[in-house]
Amino acid sequence: MALLALTLAGCGGGGGPDPFPSHFNTEVVWQADIPAAGQSTCFDFDAGSEVPTCLGNAWDLKITGRQDEAPMLFTNSGSSGTGQGGVYVRRAANGTIQQVLMKWFHLEQWKDGATNPANREPLPADAYVADANGSLLNVPATLRGLDEDHGWFIKYTDASRAQAAGFAPLAGVLGADPERGALIRGGEGNNYARMRLKRVSYQDPKNLNSAQRWTIQFYAQLPGR
């Protein structure tokens, strides 16, 4: 079950109307209860709700539980679904993928999921990458000091460092990093969202094996809105 909020995002302060207003004007919050290992839950950010089955193009983001590991994220595309979704990637000059997750303040500069914010030119056809034997949303872990940096979250390997960062004083606890996020295209192919992980909570804060809930925030660009 997911609790959610669907609201129009507020506009900025004075100075007159923005000549290039953002189309990411619908905020959706998915409080996703992580399913059991091998099970999946899918969300439609157009409707602001989970869908009964992960079939067709009506869903936009999938979470799949894993045994003793963090869940995985998928778009409705390629090997993960029959939709037209995908993950926006930044490419190097030679065309290789350079970056998937971005700093959130960079994502906030995007006003249209189909337009380059730097020059307002349409994005190339390969800007969004479909899932293939997994999803680029699941970035490889690196080290942040002595802890594991998984992009969306930090896995703290020391209880004191976890506590100093504001999380439960447990080695192995996951702490969300809302300063990073991704740009995805939804299953319908004409809907987009800036998304980030806002919070990871545990049913029993003293037991890392208890059920997890991930709070994922979307700023969606929806057709006709």
Q: Is the pLDDT of residue 12 over 70?
A: no
6-20, 61-75, 119-133, 198-212: range with lowest mean pLDDT: 6-20
The answer as to whether 42 is a domain residue is yes
Domain contains 14 = no
* Residue whose C-alpha is closest to residue 188's, from 220, 150, 154, 144: 220
* Domain membership of residue 86 as a residue range: 2-7+24-221
What are the pLDDT digits (tens) for 195-212? 999 999 999 999 999 999
In a domain, 51, yes or no: yes
In a domain, 19, yes or no: no
Whole-angstrom CA distances from 4 to 40, 72, 203 are 18, 20, 18
Instruction: Report if residue 17 sits inside a domain.
Output: no
State how many domains the chain has.
1
* pLDDT over 80 (residue 37): yes
pLDDT at 224: 75
Nearest-5° angle of CA 112, CA 199, CA 75? 45
Task: To the nearest 10°, report the CA torsion of 197, 203, 204, 207.
Answer: -60
Q: Tell me, yes or no, whether 16 lies in a domain.
A: no
Q: Are 152 and 177 in contact (CB under 8 A)?
A: yes
Q: Residue 3: is its pLDDT beyond 90?
A: no
User: 58: phi > 0 → left, psi -120 to 50 → alpha, else beta; which?
Assistant: alpha
Q: Do the domain assignments include residue 130?
A: yes
Beta bridge partner(s), residue 85 = none
Strands 69-75 vs 86-88: parallel, antiparallel or unpaired: unpaired
Q: Tens digits of per-residue pLDDT, 95-126? A: 999 999 999 999 999 999 999 999 999 999 99
Tens of pLDDT, residues 134-146: 999 999 999 998 9
Say if residue 8's pLDDT is above 70. no
CA angle 160–164–169, rounded 5-degree value:
45
User: Angle at CA 32, nearest 5°, toward 26 and 37?
Assistant: 145
Low-confidence winner among 24-33, 34-43, 78-87, 138-147 (lowest mean pLDDT): 138-147
Residue carrying the six token digits 């299953």: 187
CB 75 within 8 A of CB 87: yes
Instruction: Kindly state whether residue 18 falls inside one of the protein's structural domains.
Output: no
